[in-house]
Structure 1
């Protein structure tokens, strides 16, 4: 099996990380440390580290002094998503540290000042990132994120029977803001993860409220019911209970990472995993909920990663293969305007076609970043190649102008590559089966030995044959 854990581009990535950290890194870079849940999920499968690694390298290059910028402003949420995704890639510990060293002093800009403004979902997500970055969420940037999150989590009333409405919302997170309350199910799942890992006394109640958001079908909805309604649970088919694959996948991911092994959580994860697997298309892709309602790499990567953590090997690999198809890799004569953005993942296939001539448009770059940040996760389960990368000519000599058959071995499923002889080239992708690729290339004029090449994002192989006029 070919496991390219040290791609040829690693040296470039190290330089990019060093430049990123200049003036930011206050401590030695730590190696990324995939969670026990991810290590366990990947222990029994053979995966290719290349697609997640090159996606991570591209995302690291998009950071500006440790932050991702949307328009002219820091996007703290996307930066945290990126940091958490990069923590799953072994070579990106320095980048995670750089993100943390910029984010931590500014965390109040994301979670609120704690008085007039305090955002529950952001607090949960920030606390989850703090742990990934090997920091203490009870003292992060001078803020006790856990204590603030507990303040934003509804308490169980002293007498539930006397206060049924308070009992109904016990464990639910709420924002405190002049702009309104925008807490939702995704934020609740991050809050459960953060409170559980902190061994908070409010963790179980927050978890129970999250589980209320799971419908009988196994899916989670995206939004809560109005806080004044007596029924705070999801009800399939009822307005306000529309199921959402992204919310379901994130609920699964955060529940798994919380380490909660209670019977209620185990049962909820099994139901959610079944629902996600049933929603997967034959291609491996997933469709987003309305109003998006389109197949895309974000939904597919998150769903595939969730299924991977649940150890559904077949479903997670199918999703990873589909995501990898949307990661253009153009080398040698196959170069396009996207070559300089090798590793980036498109939100949808049509974005690749639209960008091959002029590159990623400035106004679309944010979309590519969001797609790639989540793609890193789903690509963790991309299957490995069966063999070492090789190219073989079926003939030892041929005449110029002839089309000669070449065989390529060792391409991982859905892996992009470029085959080339002087004057001719072809783009190819690895078969799902991992079997050899057979293609013909036209030989150039000239009485001399010619080289046939195959190039992937991080590897290359060559062969030769004698050509005569």
Structure 2
């Protein structure tokens, strides 16, 4: 099922709670929408909604009855990532409603049954999504996610001096499972967000424990110490305290969304933001932590989104431009095997090249989905075009076979387009400066007027000139 929306090429902020109908609905569903933090971050920025919108449309088409389904069945975590992404894009309310309905019906499969199995990170992430989707996290699919999360959050001892180890782990989340404890710093950041938004009495302890996971230079590590270790804080240079850009970016995002204005949180955000800015490459990209250690759109998009929320606009813009370069838009004469997947974002540039002739392989579809879910966030800060789309021929007439110069105006930075006349075409991308693109196209035979076209994912412009043999 397609959920097509005509994107807005140039918009400071586009907000709507109007739901896009899916089938016949008695009443429109309550629509998720950009959070106050995102609205505030974009309030003074002129952005292009096209790349995030077409990415969201592709993601929506990848859902099966409201869930992301992979080779091993439903992937609830990726489904929530998708829902979080779609909530930032105008008019995706009906799709979010489908996701919510599907998740609520299967919530125990994701968070555990609450007795033998209870998973802290999934509880926190589901509660955070429930809030985004305008549902009640204390009664989500019949489950009180907040109460269960509080049960998985270590209590502050009555006498910290008498129980130093209990005091050291106070606020830390733990899984209850016969399969082991896999709780980590990313889950902790979602717990802080969910507990803070629910005004839980355990929010402060969870927040304080999260802040312990930030090292002196500003980054957050990804893993906790073992529970019996007296020092539960990040120790720069020590094994297990390696820098992790993804964990840092998600900690920033979730702390901002927690709306905790305490000085300790503001100081942590300042340090984390400065570290991310320093970590960003000149291209705008970010490299993942070891063992992946590669530049990729996942790390770049969430880091860019985090920086955007912190109003580090230049850094967010650079990240968005780099992510957009990895969103192939091959249309009309420039068609490839990826044209049918317009809007999808590749994890790395080499994936685009590999899939241009074969399409996205079934074995790689999961990777494209994960990359695109994060890319929607980073693309929120993609800069807008300076002008309306326009193509101009430098000559009024020319001879058949000549190569004639055409000028294209109004491409947003990094935006993909196809220039063409009959018999010839060129792929082009908008300049970082937003200035005109100049390319030559070879004219076909025939004594007649020919049309020069430029086509983007959501727009087109044309001009004409006289051709003589």
Question: Is the 8 Å Cα contact of residues 31 and 133 (structure 2) preserved in structure 1?
Answer: no
1:304-315 map, 5 Å: 304-315=304-315
Aligned to 1:18: 22
Question: Is the 8 Å Cα contact of residues 32 and 89 (structure 1) preserved in structure 2?
Answer: no
Aligned to 1:4: 9
Aligned to 2:421: 421
Take 1:91 and 1:405, find their aligned partners in 2: how far apart are those partners? 40
Aligned to 2:451: 451
Aligned to 1:48: 48
Residue 465 of structure 2 corresponds to residue 465 of structure 1:
yes
Residue 318 of structure 2 corresponds to residue 318 of structure 1:
yes
Take 1:391 and 1:98, find their aligned partners in 2: how far apart are those partners? 41
Take 1:107 and 1:248, find their aligned partners in 2: how far apart are those partners? 27
Describe the SS at the equivalent of 1:450: strand
Aligned to 1:349: 349
Question: Is the 8 Å Cα contact of residues 453 and 462 (structure 1) preserved in structure 2?
Answer: yes
Question: Is the 8 Å Cα contact of residues 51 and 324 (structure 2) preserved in structure 1?
Answer: yes
Q: Deviations over 1:56-98 (max 9, x none)?
A: 0000000000000110410000000000110000121111111
Runs of 4+ in 1 over 2 A off after TM superposition: 2-6, 25-32
Describe the SS at the equivalent of 1:121: helix
Offset at residue 5 of structure 1 (A): 6.8
Q: Deviations over 1:28-79 (max 9, x none)?
A: 2333410000000001110000000000000000000000011041000000
Take 2:436 and 2:139, find their aligned partners in 1: how far apart are those partners? 54
Q: Deviations over 1:353-393 (max 9, x none)?
A: 00000100000000000000000000000000000000000
Offset at residue 196 of structure 1 (A): 0.2
Relative distance call for 1:41 and 1:83 in structure 2 (3 A) is same
Describe the SS at the equivalent of 2:243: coil
Aligned to 2:130: 130
Give unmatched runs, 5+ long, in structure 1: 7-13
Offset at residue 106 of structure 1 (A): 1.1
Take 1:415 and 1:78, find their aligned partners in 2: how far apart are those partners? 27
Question: Is the 8 Å Cα contact of residues 450 and 466 (structure 1) preserved in structure 2?
Answer: yes
Relative distance call for 1:431 and 1:457 in structure 2 (3 A) is same
Offset at residue 243 of structure 1 (A): 1.1
Take 1:105 and 1:167, find their aligned partners in 2: how far apart are those partners? 38
Offset at residue 27 of structure 1 (A): 5.9
Question: Is the 8 Å Cα contact of residues 26 and 101 (structure 1) preserved in structure 2?
Answer: no
Question: Is the 8 Å Cα contact of residues 10 and 384 (structure 2) preserved in structure 1?
Answer: no
Aligned length: 456
Relative distance call for 1:182 and 1:27 in structure 2 (3 A) is farther
Take 1:265 and 1:314, find their aligned partners in 2: how far apart are those partners? 23
Aligned to 1:109: 109
TM-score normalized by structure 2? 0.96
Take 2:422 and 2:55, find their aligned partners in 1: how far apart are those partners? 30
Offset at residue 26 of structure 1 (A): 8.5
Offset at residue 166 of structure 1 (A): 0.3
Aligned to 2:157: 157
Q: Deviations over 1:312-331 (max 9, x none)?
A: 01000000000000000001
Q: Deviations over 1:286-314 (max 9, x none)?
A: 00000000000000000000000000010
Offset at residue 18 of structure 1 (A): 1.9
Take 2:462 and 2:295, find their aligned partners in 1: how far apart are those partners? 37
Question: Is the 8 Å Cα contact of residues 31 and 134 (structure 2) preserved in structure 1?
Answer: no
Relative distance call for 1:26 and 1:349 in structure 2 (3 A) is farther
Aligned to 1:247: 247
